[in-house]
Amino acid sequence: MRTTIATSKRVVIKVGTSSLMYANGKINLRTIERLVRVIADLSNQGREVVLVSSGAIGVGIHKLQLDEAPIEMAGKQAVAAVGQSELMHIYSKLFGEYGHVVGQVLLTRDVIDFPDSRKNVTNTFAKMLEHHIIPIVNENDTVSVNEIEHVTRFGDNDQLSAIVSEIIEADLLIILSDIDGLYDSDPHKNKAAKLIAEVQAITPAIEKLAGGEGSRFGTGGMVTKIEAAQRVLHNKSKMVITNGADPYIIHAILAGKQIGTLFSLEEK
C-alpha cells in the first residue's frame, strides 16, 4: 500500500541527466538546488538517503563547451571525468549550505559481481550512512567499458540504482525521470494514454509497454526502468517512477500520495 511508503527509513533517489540538464545543454541549477534541499530535509527527518546521480557526461559537455559528446570511447570517458568532478563540486557546495556532508561512490559492475568487492562496497555504504554522510553514486564512466571479454558497465543508472537499493536493503527507490510514470501506451504518440498507478508484477504485458530511448544527454528509457523495477520487486522492496522536473514531488510521494507509478508486491 502507498501509505507504507511514508515509513520508509532508507531511500534511494535516482535522478536522470534529463532532470539535471536543460534541452539546450546548460545545467539546470534550479532543479539541482531543489533536489539537494529535499534530500537534506529527508536526512534531517532521520531518513537515510542515497543519491544515484547521472549527468557526468552532460555536465562535462557543458563545462568543455562542446556541441555534443565525443564519438570515441576515450573522448567520452575524458568528458565524463571533467563532468563528474564538476557535478560533485556542485553537490558538495549545495549540501554544505544545509550542513550535510557528501561522499562520492563510483561503481563498476565487476565490483558488484565479486563477493569480496561487493562486501567492501556494502560496508562502505553502511559506514557512510552510520556517520550521516550522504552517498552520491554514479557509474565510473572513466573506466567502465563494454568489451568482448571484459564487461564492466551497468548499462545505465536505472539498473545501478536498483543494485544500490539491493546492496543497502533500501525500503524505497524513487526514479526521477522526464516522464510521469508508466503509461498504457506511448503518451508522446497517444494523447489518450493513461498513467498506470500501480504494478505488482513485471509481466510480458508490462514489458511490452516499455519502449523508446532516453534523452539527448541520457542513456536510459522506460525499458531500463522496468528492468530496475523487476530487480526491486525481486528483493521485495518498492519503487516509484515519476517526473523529476520538480524534486519537491518527493515529499508528496513519501506522504503516501498517488504520484507516478508505484511498483510493489503489496496490493491496495
Binding residues for ATP: 14, 177-178, 219-225
Helix (H/G/I), strand (E/B), else coil: 267: coil
**How many whole angstroms separate alpha carbon 73 and alpha carbon 66?**
16
Question: Binding site: what residues are annotated?
Answer: 14, 54, 141, 157, 177-178, 219-225
**How many whole angstroms separate alpha carbon 53 and alpha carbon 18?**
11
Bridge partners of residue 199, in order along the sequence: 263
Question: Binding site for substrate: what residues are annotated?
Answer: 54, 141, 157
What are the angstrom distances between the C-alpha of 244 and each of 11, 20, 221?
A: 16, 9, 14
Residue 170 cell numbers, joined: 533500501
Residue 131 cell numbers, joined: 556517520
Residue 176 cell numbers, joined: 526521477
Give the amino acid at 35. L
The answer to whether 238 and 262 have CB atoms below 8 angstroms apart is: yes
**How many whole angstroms separate alpha carbon 36 and alpha carbon 232?**
24
**How many whole angstroms separate alpha carbon 123 and alpha carbon 247?**
29
Give the amino acid at 167. I
